[in-house]
Copies of this chain bind each other. A is one copy, B any other.
Amino acid sequence: MSELKAYLREQQRTVDAALQQFLPRSSVRPSTVHRAMRHPVFAGGKRLRPILCLAAAEACGGTREDAIPPACAAELIHTYSLVHDDLPCMDNDDLRRGQPTTHVVFGENVAVLAGDGILTEAFAIIAQTPENKRYRTRDYVTELAFAADSRRLIGGQVMDLEGEGKDLTKAQLVRIHEAKTAALLTSSLRLGGMSANASPSRLQALTDFGRSLGLAFQVIDDILDVTQSTEKLGKTAGKDAEVSKATYPAILGLEKSKQEAHRLTRKALAALQAFGRRANRLDQIAHYLLDRDY
């Protein structure tokens, strides 16, 4: 496991260095918005989406260099959604990644605009992904917009807001998690594969892996919200219950939720068969996410 941790740290550093290059410096005018954009991006995220993107490229025989733009773009989509999700008019969260949230530091108005700026930057960056025989800039941009759009990422946020205080079925909860979490994880993997000129069947395998991994990830997130401390999570613990949000533990209970996380992880791993040893990293990351405690 410590070899994997060294790998994850190394990939994190690579992604952080690339994001440093891609984002406008803090000194660029108007500097308020650039400081506000950099605050959530460099608040110490796990970089899960970019790491999955890079590992998918590796599984498809591609290079890390070609996968860096989509990796960073996926991370920025994730980050902007957190900035807007944490706003007072949304989840009203003061803490994220162990740091005060963007609106706490810069005010609500600048936080809205910083989120917009990060989202816009994601598309400027994805357009820099090198084209290859199978995939063109149009495919990359379309894939990222698909994951981030009003049926997937944004739609999931809306369903989440509308579900608060209601009794949801497991099927409804799965639909929210597919939209809010699994879609962007899946597209992160697919974009890595696309940057590596992956065949359609490989891309399908990454899609299957991503969907199950994304759902497993969210089940585990729900479990950790109940079982871990705010300090450990880097965000406010017990938040879901406080706002009567539908979660796996609330619907299935804690024990069945853990079983569900295991089942989904096994399903994800099965989709990796086709890749052989090249998918070792993806396999390890899936196990790592299942066993994480933050």
Contacts and interface: CB of A to CB of B under 8 A. Distances in A.
Interface of A: 24, 28-30, 32-34, 37, 80-81, 84, 87-90, 107-110, 112-117, 119-121, 123-124, 126-128, 136-138, 141-142, 144-146, 148-151, 154-155, 157-159, 161-162
Contacts of A161: 109-110
Contacts of A158: 30, 32-33, 110, 113
B127 A145 contact: yes
Number of copies: 2
B128 A112 contact: no
A78 to B, nearest CB: 13
A156 to B, nearest CB: 9
Contacts of A81: 116
Contact of A30 (B28, B87, B162): B162
B24 A151 contact: yes
A87 B145 CA distance: 24
Nearest to A92: B109
A117 B153 CA distance: 9
Nearest to A32: B158
B84 A150 contact: no
Given A115-B116, A127-B141, A137-B141, 19 more contacts: A28-B151, A30-B155, A32-B162, A33-B154, A34-B150, A81-B116, A84-B116, A89-B109, A114-B150, A117-B149, A120-B148, A121-B149, A123-B123, A123-B144, A124-B142, A124-B145, A124-B146, A127-B142, A137-B138
